[in-house]
Amino acid sequence: MNGLGTLEVFFLLVLSIVLIAVGILLILLGIIASQSEGTVRSRGLVVLLLGPLPIVLRGSVRIALLAFVLAAALLLLVLFLIF
């Protein structure tokens, strides 16, 4: 039995990064779309998944953007340390 080769691991890494980027883009588009709908004010929940740990925050769009920026910074730090 052979494990995954270097090319397969690289492909899986690139695919996972692309899927994460698409997910982040969808979140940003949802935030932008919800802001342009009018003056409806609501407070919701933000679920931030860091690996197996879900972090649930209650707040507004500002808190969601802050959580997004922190998660993106953490992801970049991990990628920097790996490579």
Task: Read off the pTM.
Answer: 0.44
The three-point CA angle 17-47-81 to 5° equals 35
Per-residue tokens: 1:
């039995």
- Compute CA distances 38 → 35, 52, 61, whole Å: 7, 36, 14
Q: Are 71 and 50 in contact (CB under 8 A)?
A: yes
Residue of 28, 36, 34 whose CA lies nearest to 72 = 28
Residue of 68, 72, 73, 71 whose CA lies nearest to 27 = 68
* pLDDT value of position 36: 65
Residue 69: band (very low, low, confident or very high) from pLDDT cuts 50, 70, 90: confident
Percent of the chain scored above 90 by pLDDT?
Answer: 0
The answer, yes or no, to whether residue 1 has pLDDT greater than 70, is no
* pLDDT value of position 14: 86
- Mean pLDDT, the chain, integer: 75
More confident residue, 7 or 33: 7
d(CA 49, CA 46): 10
**What value does the mean pLDDT take over residues 59-82?**
78
